[in-house]
Structure 1
């Protein structure tokens, strides 16, 4: 069955990538490297699934299912590499390593690499499914492409605005609340969700593709309540105090909207 082969090949590709990142992380003692691998994981799944499903599925849909994850994943990985190069380890991983119990390798595999690896595999299932869809490109496919473009713009523009803001010494200690950052506190996370749902729409060439909606729903839950928005909001409220609380009161937590004029005192 082509889909089963794609899913197994995707798992092997992710395992290989995670093993390489683990080796680099152990050598450098910098566990933030895995953040670069997140985008590359989707690239690996798309390329591997495309190769092993050759001769199956609609060529147009297969090409779209290849290009969208590759463009998005390469851009994300390149940006995170540029952003983190020469910088200290991400505080999330530093805090995680402080809680380490037992030998190093089993601990980091259990707490960092295994969780991210299996979530990546599950969230990328629509990509593998799309590669095996026999129905041609339809309106939902193009809607997926359009949604991916929206997500890519939000991520790239948000990253550019933040990089320019941080590069100005006059902004030291200040919060960026202009541009996209005045419409949402997390343009990157909103962009991520757009892309995740775009993978699902591209896979919607049959009822089986529709059923893979669990993948973007899982990613939504992870970004909002687990390792993303909620954690970052709490950390910034703790470190930035009243300035961030006021910013959070007038600015959407995720989905873009015009900033509120009234200022509340609670992080949503």
Structure 2
């Protein structure tokens, strides 16, 4: 494995992602909606995939398999987020609106830094991908098949959770209520859980490659971001502001992240 070449691919990916996020920041500044960053955070991964596929020198069938997995998952997420955000570009999502209020005059500068941090996180999270596509060993191992199986479960789990929530919100009779059906009956954030599980699939897949243990950084960072920074905390705060009584009751009975049976 040529580590200098790996670093070169990571650097090219970082430059591309930072440039994209700078352009997205300019657009977000113009339309006064920072929520578009979520869409392009997901869509940066396909950019990394294309760069890595053509520049890496690993075993071709393995490259095709992991690139297909990466592209499919992140394009699905990007398209889902695009459909959610594009419908109300004139209305900024609550968590970003709150940040804009808290940052005041420094909002524009802070959002630029925030957008660039998202680009950096894209490259950090792609570590398993860089490692896997550089693996030149012939054949697909049992660990890689297990990783792919975990990925399949996570992919369909996240897609189902997103569709269940979208269907719930589409029903006007549910306005002001909390989605507590399907996967949302067992977790307050099943979409986030399955997103994390997707990265666990990549990690397991990477364990078959030299230095694959380093890929643990991806599910670890995703877990931290989702449960401590931008995912669960912001979402919970927004839900408590918009429907305090119903969501408080939901919090008392339902697991925050990992799907589990209801509490009494």
Indicate the residue corresponding to 1:128 in structure 2: 130
**Residue pairs, 1:93-242, within 5 angstroms:** 93-100=96-103, 105-110=108-113, 112-135=114-137, 136-242=139-245
Distance 1:143 1:234, change over 3 A: same
Asked if the contact 1:37–1:77 (Cα under 8 Å) also holds between the matched residues in 2, the reply is: yes
Asked if the contact 1:39–1:74 (Cα under 8 Å) also holds between the matched residues in 2, the reply is: yes
| Superposed displacement of residue 201, structure 1 | 2.1
Distance 1:237 1:101, change over 3 A: closer
2-structure distance, mates of 1:116, 1:144: 25
- 1:212 is paired with a residue whose SS is helix
TM-score, length of structure 2 as denominator length:
0.91
What is the aligned-residue RMSD (CA, Å)? 1.8
Deviations 1:124-164 (A, max 9, x none): 11111111012232112122211221221122111111111
Asked if the contact 1:9–1:49 (Cα under 8 Å) also holds between the matched residues in 2, the reply is: no
Asked if the contact 1:61–1:141 (Cα under 8 Å) also holds between the matched residues in 2, the reply is: no
| Superposed displacement of residue 232, structure 1 | 2.0
1-structure distance, mates of 2:198, 2:240: 28
Distance 1:202 1:16, change over 3 A: farther
Indicate the residue corresponding to 1:254 in structure 2: 257
Which of these residues, 11, 14, 18, is aligned with residue 21 of structure 2?
18
Indicate the residue corresponding to 2:84 in structure 1: 83
2-structure distance, mates of 1:99, 1:248: 26
Indicate the residue corresponding to 1:73 in structure 2: 74
Deviations 1:87-136 (A, max 9, x none): 211112112222336566533212x2122121221111111111101223
| Superposed displacement of residue 213, structure 1 | 0.7
Consecutive aligned runs of 4 or more in structure 1 exceeding 4 Å deviation? 101-105
Distance 1:73 1:253, change over 3 A: same
Deviations 1:155-190 (A, max 9, x none): 211111111111112111111101111011101101
Indicate the residue corresponding to 1:266 in structure 2: none
Which of these residues, 29, 42, 45, is aligned with residue 45 of structure 2?
42
Asked if the contact 2:126–2:218 (Cα under 8 Å) also holds between the matched residues in 1, the reply is: yes
Asked if the contact 1:141–1:201 (Cα under 8 Å) also holds between the matched residues in 2, the reply is: yes
Asked if the contact 1:45–1:128 (Cα under 8 Å) also holds between the matched residues in 2, the reply is: no
1-structure distance, mates of 2:105, 2:259: 43
| Superposed displacement of residue 20, structure 1 | 2.5
1-structure distance, mates of 2:204, 2:22: 31
Deviations 1:227-268 (A, max 9, x none): 1113322332343223222212221211112323x1xxxxxx
